[in-house]
Structure 1
């Protein structure tokens, strides 16, 4: 998502890639400038630094760039073999050897890896040939740019992921692009689909429906300080994707329901699809824009739904709106449940991290909806709204 791609960062090599000194790396005869462009968690960035050249081969300190790629770094008991891994990505090199292990296969590097102590670092530095570092991190070696006089590298991957075990199957979502995999035991992971989106601070929810469908929901918060929300829903039948949807709520909150009365609810922020369990057929499509009546460029999350009503929250003004599915009549609950004094305090607590409309939906019991009212400077209280009032409009 372009709006989530941060402006290119020129990171200090003093912080990220310790440059080898003559005392640290012997036989370094010259250096080459390079630009390293990589994926972070929900963003892209780059930095510039210099390689060292040893016996005609460009080298880079690999532990630092592996850390940026979210790989764990370990040394074996001899202190001569360095390993880097994260889920299915596995890399290992040995001091003085040209042979590396990359994702279970032997690879011959241009020159031998070498490990050196850095007095300013707690961990051993690991130097590998530059081109191998790019290959190992699934990047693209763009070659020498005569205009900038440096080697350019792009699309260095990030291997951060989220996973959850459900009914003996491990489901994994990569944060770099939202690829979804399933793994049983020690078997090879199977790619199910991709969300085609970069993720930041994510949570994955997996559940089976009564009639055998599988719903995977990914909620992601992004930006600083993670005040933006996006939602992804993927519905599977016998391992195949049959329905999917996604929505970026920006400052708005994400959906709180995905089903009712044994029906599945899929929301893209503007249209709500009611899905039949078992078949995956669309039973009904609800146009949220028409129901809410606040204009076209709006997005809505779903907080509650049954056959009589739907409770939605606007991602822009963040107001809860209760709508009758039978008559189309609606009420803004901020106007109905808050006193003038409460409304005044809630309006003062505005902004992306503010109280919104001050209302949090708690539960439905029979004909009654329960809410809490809270904001900065306002004691938390409970409020209720009867659906009989909505029916009488």
Structure 2
């Protein structure tokens, strides 16, 4: 089963309880999402009609807002808006009044809606009703999950299913900004950074899987409201950050090729093959850079490597900075990930300063550039 489609916890709201005229009989709701994943949940049969929990809309990525005084619930997602009222046969679907095909009701703090209306509202199809086992089956339910953030008076929204990124300006006009190239799943975060020369560096991160073992980065450089450069990279059980700006250069990587981009113009000034530098075919993090050095870490091995950009000399920093015991730990430990846990702090003259997050002893480790 695709666990992404397991139901969110059922919400409990304080409502004036609408009377349930006839006793509701227990039943089952079996459905298949458009992206796969078969789920069976409880349902009720009342007055010959199947009702299901409205929390299924939340499981499909919609957010709920309650108007308690009018006993009205509104569910919204990217490109989708649904509203129902307890005791009313009328509902709202994408801005239009429609027949809800039944009367929503509240029972034990839970809102129930007609199964057929819920399925239709999510673009699905009713497959069958097994009267003997009281099983209502549907397929093809769509997700309308999205994530949004505001910056500079505009709203940025990503449709998680399609990977489409939209921009809505202060006047309410919405347009497609970029296609990210893949579906997004879980904890999407936005990071906006203005560059010294007026470009916008936008990063979206998506941490997903069980238990959140995948880390996907989508990076874009935006000039005058248009994406002029973009890249994406995925890491597995690796959660470090990539450097975005070094001097007057913007850094954009797909894990294998690092592009250096001139601030202001967006011109690519240099391409660096990280797999050649790192000696293995892998996705790499870029954890530090200046005009005379570059620090990269392979996803699989996890050792932080310093490359002298003037001489090409490569140094595995854990061998230079850690004692024998810590070196052995870096080479054999696999929890939470392989490799060392050296973290670059800052540069002081020709000295690069680090700490070791494995021991957290407060010690500062110093590496001298050029062997000085």
Same-fold call, TM cutoff 0.5: yes
2-side partners of 1:127 and 1:244: how far apart? 43
Match of 2:139 among 153, 160, 184: 153
User: Following TM superposition, by how much is the alpha carbon of 1:274 offset from its aligned partner in structure 2, in angstroms?
Assistant: 1.0
Aligned residues of 1:209 and 1:277 also touching (Cα < 8 A): yes
**Structure 1 position 79, deviation (Å):** 5.1
1:383 equivalenced with 2:365 (yes/no)? yes
Who is 1:20 aligned against? none
Secondary structure in 2 matching 1:381: coil
- How far, CA to CA, are the matches of 1:24 and 1:356 in structure 2? 61
Distance 1:337 1:50, change over 3 A: closer
Residue 299 of structure 1 aligns with which residue?
283
The question of 1:108 aligning with 2:98 is answered yes
**2:154 counterpart of 1:169:** yes
CA contact (8 A) 2:119 2:138 kept: no
Match of residue 85 from structure 1:
76
CA RMSD of aligned residues (A): 3.5
Indicate the residue corresponding to 2:14 in structure 1.
none
Q: Can you give the 5+ residue segments of structure 2 that lack an aligned partner in the other structure? A: 12-18
1:219–1:232 Cα contact (<8 Å) kept:
yes
Structure 1 residues 12, 226: CA separation in 2 closer, same or farther (over 3 Å shift)? closer
Aligned mates of 2:199, 2:238 — CA distance in 1? 29
CA apart distance, 1:339: 1.1
Task: Give the direction of change, closer, same or farther, for the CA distance of 1:361–1:238 in structure 2 (3 Å limit).
Answer: same
1:165-203 superposed Cα distances (whole Å, 9 cap, x missing partner): 222222233444433222234614433223222232232
SS at match of 1:264: strand
Equivalents in 1 of 2:341, 2:6: separation in Å?
Answer: 41
Question: Aligned partners of 1:183, 1:12: CA distance in 2, in Å?
Answer: 30
- Distance of 2:5 and 2:257 partners within structure 1: 42
Once residues 331 and 352 of structure 1 are traced to their aligned partners in structure 2, the CA distance between those partners, rounded to angstroms, is 24
Asked if 1:191 is matched to 2:176, the reply is: yes
Q: 1:126 to 1:50 in 2, by over 3 A?
A: closer
* 1:105-144: CA deviation from partner (whole Å, max 9, x where unpaired): 12322523321322xxxx242323x33212433x332634
Question: Which residue of structure 2 aligns with residue 132 of structure 1?
Answer: 117
Q: For 1:193-212, what aligned pairs fall within 5 Å after superposition?
A: 193-195=178-180, 196-212=182-198
Q: Which residue of 2 aligns with 1:37?
A: 32
In 2, Cα distance between equivalents of 1:54 and 1:374: 59
Alpha-carbon spacing, 1:251–1:187, altered in 2? closer, same or farther (3 Å): same
SS in 2 for 1:336: helix
**What does residue 214 of structure 1 align with?**
200
- 2:254 — aligned with what? 268
CA contact (8 A) 2:301 2:338 kept: no
**Shift in Å, 1:86:** 4.9
- Give the alignment of 1:3-14 within 5 angstroms: 7=2
3-state DSSP of counterpart to 1:375: coil
SS in 1 for 2:258: strand
Q: 1:372 deviation in Å?
A: 0.4
* Structure 2 CA distance for aligned equivalents of residues 97 and 217 of structure 1: 44
Deviation of the 1:50 alpha carbon: 6.5
Compared CA separation, residues 60 and 178, structure 1 to 2 (3 A): farther
Q: How does 1:208-357 map to 2 (within 5 A)?
A: 208-293=194-279, 295-296=280-281, 298-347=282-331, 350-354=333-337, 356-357=339-340
Residue 357 of structure 2 is aligned to residue 365 of structure 1: no
1:179 to 158, 164, 168: 164
Deviation (angstroms), 1:275: 1.4
1:47 correspondence with 2:39: yes
* Alpha-carbon offset, residue 228 of structure 1: 2.9
Q: Normalized against structure 1, the TM-score is what?
A: 0.79
Q: Secondary structure at the match of 1:379?
A: coil
Instruction: Measure how far apart 1:93 and its partner are.
Output: 1.3
Secondary structure of 2:336's counterpart equals coil
Q: Aligned to 2:22, which of 20, 26, 46? A: 26
Deviation at 1:373?
A: 1.9
Q: Is the 8 A contact 2:101 2:117 kept in 1?
A: no
**TM-score normalized with structure 2 length:** 0.83
